[in-house]
Structure 1
């Protein structure tokens, strides 16, 4: 065991990305383009909702939290990785690593909270339409949004306050990006309290999220199946099916990445791949599946483009 190292003067070493020197520039370009696409898709959804009064409804106000969270998650992950690829430097200070891990977990937990709130909103709208305006009033909507973020910040703050130490006994991060399980492996002494509390909060929070989302979507499907409109039925089944598949895949990756660190027999490569996929794929897929695939948002995007093009056409017609 190495001697105790001062937190503030220690450089940590992240796991190698194992990119051949010939692929450094292509990998950097691909990663940068991916990050730019994430920003473009999420900003498109964000600005469309913000600047269109027709979309100032509970469903879209809740959806507004998703691009904000996805931009945060992508910004925590991509710039640091792109810099590391370009410079071939896998070093990071403990304080920077701690901050990166904090916001990484903040992003993951917020995403599950937002999806749960959105599922509840759809459940009320479809299964209890007469109560929708009451249950999803402006005051209740504000309470839901505050609850999403306050629970997220509180839980992650407690977890990381337990993880913080004045000294560590190692400098090797066993992952390609910083996270709480990797930081725990650097701690000197007993970390059973951290492990027990982390597992407890993970299973309680994720268990509640999964059960809530499954319950709401099952109730939505049951309600829609009993309706006679075949078009609405097939559309709802397709939408709910897509959302459930994406949600369950994300939950599986998240749980595996968090729990796999506790078992030495788990494949490190598989753990890293699934962990990185949480940071890469949701910020790309979420604005497409939950945002741009939504008919009302798509129509307003088309409306804006037509609004910009029409004055030019009118000028041409007037000249002719």
Structure 2
């Protein structure tokens, strides 16, 4: 068995964005500001949930995992990207590249799983409101969260382990960051098992997530139409619209990224931009969408901001 990093050199080369000298500072500023916005929005959402006991409910406890996951993905990209832009470097150690790929895929799988369990929570709350407190207890919610992270860790751990067993004979990655597909292009051995397992994860996640969300939303819509209370119906639909918006953004960007790897005629620059967008837009938009569209969170955020601006 040959170790992944035992061939030739431990230094890999990232393709980068081929920035002109005059565009380096603009790119550095954009990347730094983007990361700061992501940090602020996600940490502020987390702080809002932590500091308000009224938000210590299953829905918001599950939601709390989304900004954690978004910070994992965005940090895996930006911390390295900002450093490479600032130092004008395209080289990365193989071990660091593998670590980055691990966290990027943890983010991707985690996003799908977290949004799926959030749809399950809304399904119980709207379709079985009388049983909600009995079903979604603190211990049950904690078990769900632990299972999600363990499944995420296991699936991605196997993916990276399969990669580590293969010898490498190339060192140039076509992406500005490391992920499993780009690392597989460096190997000089049969990667059929890796490709099958990668497709298995992608297909199973899509079937599970899309199937679960379609089923829960269909049941929620039926429950809303049967409900005679307009306020309950409006709140349920607004909550579902927020969750569906976040899920569709993730799905569309993820689908574009997967397709971009399959289209060989696609411009390399466009492929890199599509890949990076999956790690930029969801972590930026998710806390903003939930903050603006969820009444309870919006009110608590405004309260925290007003208390900082106008302290008593």
TM-score by length of 1: 0.89
Q: CA deviation at 1:286?
A: 0.7
Match of 1:278 in 2: 278
Please show how residues 47-58 of structure 1 align to structure 2 within 5 Å.
47-58=47-58
Gap regions ≥5 residues in structure 1: 313-320
Please show how residues 125-204 of structure 1 align to structure 2 within 5 Å.
125-165=125-165, 167-204=167-204
Q: CA deviation at 1:5?
A: 7.2
The alignment status of 1:76 with 2:76, answered yes or no, reads: yes
Say what the alpha-carbon RMSD is for the aligned residues: 2.2
Match of 1:218 in 2: 218
Say how many residue pairs are matched: 309
Contact 2:58/2:141 (CA < 8 Å) preserved in 1?
yes
Deviates more, 1:177-186 or 1:226-235: 226-235
Q: CA deviation at 1:15?
A: 1.4
Rg larger in structure: 1
1:221–1:170 distance in 2 versus 1, CA, 3 Å = same
Match of 1:316 in 2: none
1:226–1:5 distance in 2 versus 1, CA, 3 Å = closer
1:238–1:305 distance in 2 versus 1, CA, 3 Å = closer
Q: CA deviation at 1:239?
A: 4.4
Q: CA deviation at 1:6?
A: 3.0
Match of 1:252 in 2: 252
Q: CA deviation at 1:29?
A: 0.9
- The secondary structure found in structure 2 opposite 1:19 is coil
- The secondary structure found in structure 2 opposite 1:168 is coil
Q: CA deviation at 1:225?
A: 2.5
- The secondary structure found in structure 2 opposite 1:220 is helix
Structure 1 CA distance, aligned partners of 2:71 and 2:7? 29
Structure 1 CA distance, aligned partners of 2:38 and 2:303? 23
Gap regions ≥5 residues in structure 2: none
1:21–1:250 distance in 2 versus 1, CA, 3 Å = same
